[in-house]
Chains A and B, each alone.
Chain A
Amino acid sequence: MDTFTNQLVAGLSVGSVLLLVALGLSLTFGQLGVINMAHGEFIMAGAYTAYVVQQAISDPGASLLISIPIGFAVGGAMGLILEIALISRLYHRPLDTLLVTFGVSLILQQLARDLFGAPAKQVVAPEWLSGQTSLAGVDVPKARLFIFVLSITAVLAVSAVLKLTPLGRRIRATVQNRDLAETIGIPTRRIDRYTFFIGSGIAGVAGVGLTLLGSTGPTLGTSYIVDAFLVVVAGGIGQVKGTVIAAFGLGLLQATFEYSTTASIAKMLLLLVIVLFLQVRPQGLFTVRTRSLA
């Protein structure tokens, strides 16, 4: 029973990190169908934001909390610039978008290297997030707990925006039937831009959160981007629900595999599971189905 709870907690912890990095993608890739390989660098930008803010505000707790909205703004702004400058020209060429944004990601990584230096930077965690806390008899690092809360909060916020606000209704309408949305007067291109802003902003928030787990380097985003895409693919595009379930499902699986094998074999097994899963459900867990009689 003890190992089980251990696994569960470890899985939820891995899952919440996956969720945090994939949530933004579930908007930009899931809702818009834009494959933004620079998403990882938006995460990196969020992490560096936390670092820079901490240089200005030395109190770790205050700087962390202030970094979250600033990280959102930084990530969102970068996303907006990318959307306007490049992605908007490529909406009908999804694979080309992938390659172009990969180029952007290379440039951003080098930029980080030139601005902050190649060695990784450390963001000091606040006092109240260091050390462990006991949860159902398992010792959990407080930082991990914070990430869990942060990702759940982010999911709730995104769902609330999508479900309750007029903007969210327009976003959903645009995703489900772009032509129809346009004919009833929704400025779909502008809605795309808002969606992209929010999704990229969440990447920034994720970056801020990740500074609690490790150091911040130019390749921070690269290490998460593939996993994040896998989560969205497995979850099925178009719905936040799928991303949440896939993130925690994969997190639990990874924790289980890692427990019984090594980390590298766990990674391979996880991928195998995803490939097999796509055999059963090529469209992922959930999809927005549109009925078309034409």
Chain B
Amino acid sequence: MKRLVPLLAYLLLAGALLLLAPAILTDFRLSLLSRFCTFAIVAVGIGLAWGRGGMLTLGQGLFFGLGAYVMAMHMKLDDAGPGGVPDFMKLYGDGKTPGWWEPFRSPIVTLLGIILVPAIVATVLGLAVFKRRVKGAYFAILSQALTAAFAILLIGQQGTTGGFNGLNGFKSFFGYAVNDPVNRRLIYFLTAIILLVILAGMAQLYRSRFGELLVAVRDGEERVRFLGYDPANIKLVAYVVSAVLAGIGGALFVPIAGIISPSDVGVVPSIAFVIGVAMGGRTTLLGPAVGAIAVAWAQTSLSENFPSFWSYFQGGLFVIVILFLPGGIAQLPTMATRLRRRPKPPADPSPIPQPRAAEPRAAEPRAAEPATTSAPATGAVA
């Protein structure tokens, strides 16, 4: 029975995205929603790395940016025509296309690059970090520093990256005019479907043995080591997948927003991704995606009306959600049970110091959760 709830929630989300939203939203709102869906794709990855794997990545902006810039470079080159030079380079650069831009003239290289560039960067970083057992807060700070440095690097190289202004003024997306309302709807559907496909894939991943193993690494990395696994490899896979998802989100963001600039990839947007995940429920499947869309929606509508209020609201959201609702809104249905039961003592009895102390949500049944709690039931029956 537990399996039905997430399935139903998934179908509900699919219906809302593919049928309801296009029917009731104006073109402008729909375009906003497509932008939020790209954030949701990033959020799904954070849910995997942080919620399931315990790796709080504050630097997804880096991978979001890598995917986005690869896409933007292609669109710029495409607009410039065969052999042409992107407009801004004539203004700020030496009027020539740098060598490392050239491969992205090809649409195929671009599509591969969107996946591979974040994947390779994440692999190198992940190996450096996880093999040396850098974890917890250290990992979080390091990932944040990387994304900060990435933004600074982008700003510094104005001639080849557009600097502070980023890359913008795109005309076409794989041959389709980006300003055509029909094409914009198509891009929306493309983004929504990619999000739904990714969620389906993630559901499978959460239910798989790898998903169980990842939770085990999160809760007792050293213990997993003593079962014959190298936890670094398990974390690496989750981290790389989350980086690729961020890259895909970034790549889709470009034709929708019409711009990618350092302010979209720095420290602040990277942490903004995290709050959506926390609010939706970091360990759940749909929570991160729904939370990301909800927070982005709130941000747009609040900052339209009360610009300064949004900052207070976002800050307050961090404080209240993390403090009182560590499981996110997905935790609400089980709050009642939680209140009746005493939370587990936070002390960690393990002889090996672990950065992540037991959290009160640990042994609670989670209604809107498809993976760990319900998987064994079906597994045993089958």
Say if the beta carbon of B106 comes within 8 Å of chain A: no
Also in contact, A226 and B267, with CB within 8 A (given A267-B149, A275-B128): yes
A95 touches B315 (CB 8 A): no
Q: Decide if B314 is an interface residue (CB 8 Å cutoff).
A: yes
The reply to whether A95 and B346 contact each other, CB–CB distance below 8 Å, is no
What are 12 of the A-B contact pairs (CB < 8 Å)?
A35-B141, A93-B326, A94-B136, A105-B315, A106-B314, A106-B315, A226-B141, A226-B148, A230-B141, A263-B156, A271-B145, A275-B129
Contact, CB under 8 Å: B278 / A99 = yes
Contacts of A264 in B (CB 8 A): 152-153, 155-157
Closest chain-A Cβ to B157's Cβ sits at a distance in Å of 7
Query: In the complex, what distance in Å separates the CA atom of A89 from the CA atom of B322?
Result: 11
Give Cα A226 to B271, complex, Å: 13
Could you tell me if B323 and A90 are in contact, using CB atoms closer than 8 angstroms?
A: yes
Of A89, A233, A264, A271, the most chain B CB neighbours within 10 A belong to: A264
A93 touches B156 (CB 8 A): no
Determine if B137 and A35 form an interchain contact, defined as CB atoms under 8 angstroms apart.
yes
Summarize B's interface: helix, strand, loop or mixed.
helix
Q: CB-defined interface of B351-375 with A at 8 Å, one 1/0 digit per residue?
A: 1000111110000000000000000
Partner of B145 from the list A105, A106, A230, A279 (CB cut-off 8 Å) is A230
Chain B residues within an 8 Å CB radius of A106? 311-312, 314-315, 318
Q: CB-defined interface of B77-92 with A at 8 Å, one 1/0 digit per residue?
A: 0000000000000000
Minimal beta-carbon separation of B80 from chain A (angstroms): 25
- The answer for the CA separation of A109 and B318 in the assembled complex, in Å, is 14
Q: How far is the CA of A104 from the CA of B271 in the complex (A)?
A: 13
By CB atoms of chain A within 10 A, which of B152, B267, B315 has the most? B315
B197 contacts A by Cβ under 8 Å: no
Query: Is A103 a contact of B137 with CB atoms below 8 Å?
Result: no
Interface pair B323/A98, CB less than 8 Å apart: no
Q: Does B176 contact A (CB under 8 A)?
A: no
What is the interface of chain A mostly: helix, strand, loop, or mixed?
helix
Chain B residues with CB under 8 Å of A105's CB are: 315
- Expressed in whole angstroms, the minimum distance between the Cβ of A232 and any Cβ of chain B is 9
A156 interface residue (CB < 8 Å to B): no
Near A by CB (< 8 A), chain B positions 302-328 give 308, 311-312, 314-319, 322-323, 326
In contact, A267 and B153 (Cβ under 8 angstroms): yes
| Nearest chain A residue, comparing its CB with the CB of B271 | A102
Name the distance in Å between A221's Cβ and chain B's nearest Cβ.
12
Asked whether B111 is an interface residue with its Cβ less than 8 Å from the other chain, the reply is: no
Whether the Cβ atoms of A96 and B153 lie closer than 8 Å is no
Shortest C-beta distance, A91 to chain B (Å), equals 8
8 A Cβ contacts from A213-247 to B: 222, 226, 229-230, 233
The residues of A that contact B110 with a CB separation of less than 8 Å are none
Query: For residues 106 through 136 of chain B, which have their beta carbon under 8 Å from a beta carbon of chain A?
Result: 125, 128-129, 132-134, 136
A262 interfacial by beta-carbon distance below 8 Å: yes
User: Shortest distance in angstroms between A148's beta carbon and chain B's nearest beta carbon?
Assistant: 25
Distance between A25 CB and nearest chain B CB, rounded to angstroms: 11
Interchain CB contact under 8 A, A104 and B315: yes
Q: For B157, what are the chain A residues with a Cβ–Cβ distance below 8 Å?
A: 264
A86 touches B319 (CB 8 A): yes
Knowing A103-B315, A107-B316 are in contact, say whether A95-B134 is a contact too (CB < 8 A). Answer: no
Residue of B with least CB distance to A103: B318
Closest partner residue, chain A, to B155 (CB atom): A264
B355 proximity list for chain A (CB < 8 A):
94-95
List the B side residues contacting A29 at CB < 8 Å: 137
Q: Is B198 close to A, CB under 8 A?
A: no
Residues of A within 8 A of B319 (CB): 86, 100, 103-104, 107
A265 contacts partner chain B, Cβ-Cβ < 8 Å = yes
**Per a CB cutoff under 8 Å, which of A35, A100, A265, A279 touches B323?**
A100
Q: Are B311's CB and A110's CB within 8 A?
A: yes
**Residues of B contacting A103 in the complex (Cβ-Cβ under 8 angstroms):** 275, 314-319, 322
Q: Which residue of A lies closest to B55 (CB)?
A: A95
Number of interface residues of A (CB under 8 A): 44
Looking at A90, A103, A230, the one whose CB has the most chain B CB atoms below 10 A away is A103
Q: Point out residues on B near A: beta carbons under 8 Å.
A: 56, 58, 125, 128-129, 132-134, 136-138, 140-142, 144-146, 148-150, 152-153, 155-157, 267, 271, 274-275, 278, 308, 311-312, 314-319, 322-323, 326, 346-348, 351, 355-359
Cα distance A167–B317 when bound, in Å?
Answer: 36
10 nearest A-B pairs in the assembled complex, by CB-CB distance? A264-B156, A103-B318, A106-B315, A110-B311, A107-B315, A92-B346, A92-B357, A103-B315, A103-B319, A282-B132
**A278 sits at the interface (CB 8 A):** yes
Whether B311 contacts A107 by the Cβ 8 Å rule is yes
Whether B322 contacts A100 by the Cβ 8 Å rule is yes
Alpha-carbon distance A88/B137, docked complex (angstroms): 17
Q: Is A121 an interface residue (CB 8 A)?
A: no
- CB contact under 8 A between A110 and B308, given known A99-B322, A102-B271, A103-B319: yes
A222 with B267, Cβ < 8 A, contacts A114-B308, A229-B145, A278-B132 known: yes
In the complex, chain A residues whose CB is within 8 Å of the CB of B322: 96, 99-100, 103
Are B137 and A99 in contact, with the CB atoms below 8 A? Answer: no
- Rounded to whole Å, the gap between the CB of A114 and the closest CB of chain B is 6
Do A95 and B56 form a contact, CB below 8 Å, given A263-B156, A282-B133, A294-B351? Answer: yes
Chain B residue with Cβ nearest A230: B145
A residues in contact with B153, CB < 8 Å: 264-265, 267-268
B312 close to A226 (CB less than 8 A): no
Minimal beta-carbon separation of B116 from chain A (angstroms): 21
Per-position contact with B for A240-273: 1 when CB-CB < 8 Å, else 0? 0000000000000000000000111101101100
- A172 interfacial contact with B, CB 8 Å: no
Q: How far is the CB of B25 from chain A (nearest CB, A)?
A: 29
Distance of A96 Cα from B153 Cα, bound (Å): 29
Given contacts A102-B318, A106-B315, A107-B316, contact A95 B148 (CB under 8 A): no
Report yes or no: A271 in contact with B132, Cβ–Cβ below 8 A.
no
A35-B137, A95-B137 as given contacts; A271 in contact with B149, CB under 8 Å: yes
Chain B contacts for A226, CB-based, 8 A: 141, 144-145, 148, 267
Q: How far is the CB of B64 from chain A (nearest CB, A)?
A: 18
**What residue in chain B is nearest A294 (Cβ atoms)?**
B351
- Provide the bound-state CA to CA distance between A113 and B346, in Å: 38
